[in-house]
Structure 1
Amino acid sequence: MHQHQPFHPAIFNQAGLNLQAIFNLDQLPPEMLIQLDEPEKVSDKYRQLILLGHGGKAMWASLQASGIQSENPVDDFTVRTIADYFSRDFPDCGYALIYPGIRLIGLQSLGKLAGWHHSSPLKVGINAAWGTWFAYRAVVLADTNFKPTSPLQGVSPCNSCQHKVCIDHCPASALADGVLNFQKCVDYRKQPASKCKTTCLARVSCPVASDHRYCDEQIRYHYGLSMKTIEQKY
């Protein structure tokens, strides 16, 4: 059997991209492979898909230390880290970025395959290790031969949550039915006196892995971006 290449996660961990999942392309669900193969058949050029994410506060701290100043600092920091990784450790391996980019890919579907993503009333992923405080940062196709990773084990912590504090703490009552009513959320956030313009009071009230909650600056950044999108599109 052909020996696997060693996957060295140190550069990613140091950058705070501390969630990594490796899949062989030929083991992905057929519908996902079809999506990846449009508009060109990438499975003829690459063997693996690498999903990168961050959990907790480390990525934001590394980003701030990097000094990157740009319109999309999180994406630019991630792309630079990936480029540094391949140029330093695997210069002979070709790779291509699917995300961030203009191509559509089901990030939550990949997150479910990795065991990162379980359903929550907030419509964001949740797991026991990180709560809701993780995010998808990159999808990379690569001509590598790393050992595929095993899925993170566990079920949604929401299944055993008795108090449902996220529902009680939503000032828009957007979770009253146990699942996010997107329009109620948007309508409340657009109000001048909204308490959720640059945060989500329901999300920050969740006790699962609360020690990994993003710092206030990071929360304001991400929810500030989502507020701009709401103002432009809704």
Structure 2
Amino acid sequence: MRGADFSALDDAGLNLQAVFDIAALPADIRDKLRSRFDPEARYPQLILIGHAGRRMWEHVRATRGDSAHPVDEYSVATVQRWFADVFPDRDQRVIYPGDTVLDLLALGRLAGWHNPSPFMIGIQQDWGTWFAYRVVMLADSDLAPTPPLAAASPCASCLEQACVAACPGAAVSSDGFALDKCITYRCQPSSACRHTCLARVSCPVGVRHRYDADQLRHTYTLSLQAIEAYCRPERGGGAK
């Protein structure tokens, strides 16, 4: 097996990478991947790519044009170009982003990227919550598998719980996250969280990686579009 050279992805802002041997994955994950995407077991490895911080968005902002999904398009194109450079004679298949739902959090936990936070966004000691999963690729590759990160959740030692105090919708509490309260508050026209998450930006972990206002607006505009249907009374939504 060869060591992975991810420097081109790092430069492109896709600076989180994890390589898994599919045969070594937990049986439930492995079997779902095989049955849905690779019944002939053509691909021995799965490569998980994410971003942390602001660099990826700087590239996207410079090239986005009129695309409705600039982050997905940029991420997939960049990862496929990297793979073609590293493995010019081998095959790959991108399975995320795509139409099939994947358990990204399960993969993130295996990589050591994901720890739960009170506001239901994954958190990691170094970059806080300012990261996201961008590409999952099945690959005919022979890269050395990546050891998982072993850092403990920063939430376990957090006494201040600034995120609880900062949530204007009372969705974040020591008793857990109330999704219905979050959705109801975000759908209000006067909501302070329509294009951000005040709980998230109040978290002190990984502040140096926090998205700028443009990236926050892009991210939370997409999520708001996804939940607004549930806020309309005619569709039985929560904002009544």
Please, what TM-score do these two structures have when normalized by structure 2?
0.92
The separation in 2 between residues aligned to 1:76 and 1:68, in whole angstroms, is 11
The separation in 2 between residues aligned to 1:40 and 1:54, in whole angstroms, is 24
Letter in 2 for 1:193: S
Cα displacement (A) at 1:70: 0.9
Aligned partner of 1:202 among 183, 192, 199:
199
Q: Deviations over 1:14-34 (max 9, x none)?
A: 110000000000110000011
> Which shows bigger deviation, 215-224 or 63-72?
63-72
Paired residues of 2:64 and 2:70 also in contact (CA < 8 A): no
Count, aligned residues: 231
Letter in 1 for 2:123: I
Aligned partner of 1:193 among 190, 195, 204:
190
Alignment partner, residue 220 of structure 1: 217
Paired residues of 2:172 and 2:178 also in contact (CA < 8 A): yes
Alignment partner, residue 106 of structure 1: 103
Alignment partner, residue 157 of structure 2: 160
Q: Deviations over 1:144-170 (max 9, x none)?
A: 000001111111100000010000000
Paired residues of 2:34 and 2:41 also in contact (CA < 8 A): no
The separation in 2 between residues aligned to 1:9 and 1:15, in whole angstroms, is 10
Q: Deviations over 1:174-218 (max 9, x none)?
A: 113442100000001111110000000010000001111011100
Alignment partner, residue 94 of structure 2: 97
Cα displacement (A) at 1:107: 0.3
Alignment partner, residue 16 of structure 2: 19
Cα displacement (A) at 1:113: 0.3
Aligned partner of 2:57 among 40, 57, 60:
60
Q: Secondary structure at 2:192's aligned position in 1?
A: coil
Query: Percent of pairs identical after alignment?
Result: 44
Cα displacement (A) at 1:68: 4.5
Alignment RMSD = 1.3
Structure 2 residue runs of 5 or longer lacking an equivalent are 232-240
Alignment partner, residue 238 of structure 2: none
Alignment partner, residue 170 of structure 1: 167
Cα displacement (A) at 1:90: 1.1
Q: How does 1:19-58 map to 2 (within 5 A)?
A: 19-42=16-39, 44-58=41-55
Cα displacement (A) at 1:103: 1.8
Paired residues of 2:43 and 2:140 also in contact (CA < 8 A): yes
Alignment partner, residue 142 of structure 2: 145
Q: Secondary structure at 1:81's aligned position in 2?
A: helix
Please, what TM-score do these two structures have when normalized by structure 1?
0.95
